[in-house]
Amino acid sequence: MELIQFYIVAAITISSAVSVIMQGRVMYSILSLIVTLLSVAWIYAILNASFLAVVQVILYAGAIVVLFVFAVMMLRYEEIEPQRMRTGLIGCLGLLVALFFIFELILSSATGPFVEEATLSADFGSIKSVGAILYTQYLVPLELASILLLVAVVGAALFSKRG
């Protein structure tokens, strides 16, 4: 049952991710991206990481992609871009990055620690357990990340004042 569910979600994720780069129209690319992000959230939910799944929906699908949509709405773009799959320097760089990630994926799946029947604690992935780890073991990285976000917010406010 879980396996069937996983294969369905994985198929949706990959096909929508392919659709993001193959679509001729930018708005449909973005919609495919939303589907990809939502199905990744579904995978998290299958893996019992319900908090991560919800945060994925709130932050990525609900906030970040909305900014993409905003930008597309404001820009006047050609109805069908003839050259979405660009060759040249950028294409080569993209290929290089893709190859690097494929290599990394193979490497980690060959050497990574896999457990056949992993047992989870009862509150695995719940907000309480995630919070407890974040605010004890990973307190310093968390605070540093929040300072980074604060800098970004102040920067955005500054730019809007100048513009």
Partner 1 sequence: MFIDVAITLLKIAFVFGLVLNIAGILGWAERKQSAVMQDRIGANRADILGLRLFGLFHPIADIVKVITKEDWIPPGGDKFLHTLAPFLALFTALAVFAVIPFGDTLHIAGRDIPLVIADLNVGILFVIAFGSLGIYSVVLAGWSSDNKYSLLGSMRAAAQVISYELALALSVVGVIMAYGSVELDDIARAQGQYVLGIIPYWGVIAQPLGFLIFFAAAMAETKRTPFDLPECESEIIGYFTEYSGFKFLAFWMGEFIEVIAVAGVVTTLYFGGWQVPFIDSQGFFVPGLFTIPLPHLLVVVIQVTAFILKVCFFCWFMLLVRWTLPRFRYDQLMGFGWKFLLPLAFLNVILSGVIFMSFEG
List of residues contacting partner 1 (CB under 8 A): 27, 31, 34, 50-51, 53-55, 57-58, 61-63, 66, 69-70, 73, 126-127
Compare residues 6 and 125 and give the one whose CB is closer to partner 1.
Answer: 125
Q: Which DSSP state fits 60?
A: I
Compare residues 17 and 55 and give the one whose CB is closer to partner 1.
Answer: 55
Side chain identity at 119, as an amino acid letter? T
Distance of CA 146 to the CA centre of its chain: 19
Task: Supply the minimum distance, in Å, between the C-beta of residue 72 and partner 1.
Answer: 8
* Residues in CB range of 29: below 8 A, 6 or more apart: 19, 20, 21, 23
Compare residues 111 and 161 and give the one whose CB is closer to partner 1.
Answer: 161
Task: Supply the minimum distance, in Å, between the C-beta of residue 117 and partner 1.
Answer: 23
Exposure string of 11-20, with b = 16+ CB inside 10 Å and e = fewer, is ebbeebbebb
Compare residues 62 and 141 and give the one whose CB is closer to partner 1.
Answer: 62
Task: Supply the minimum distance, in Å, between the C-beta of residue 54 and partner 1.
Answer: 4
CB 130 within 8 A of CB 51: yes
Distance of CA 52 to the CA centre of its chain: 11
Task: Supply the minimum distance, in Å, between the C-beta of residue 105 and partner 1.
Answer: 29
Task: Supply the minimum distance, in Å, between the C-beta of residue 3 and partner 1.
Answer: 19
Side chain identity at 51, as an amino acid letter? F
Compare residues 40 and 57 and give the one whose CB is closer to partner 1.
Answer: 57
Helix 26-46 vs helix 2-22: angle between axes, to the nearest 10 degrees?
160
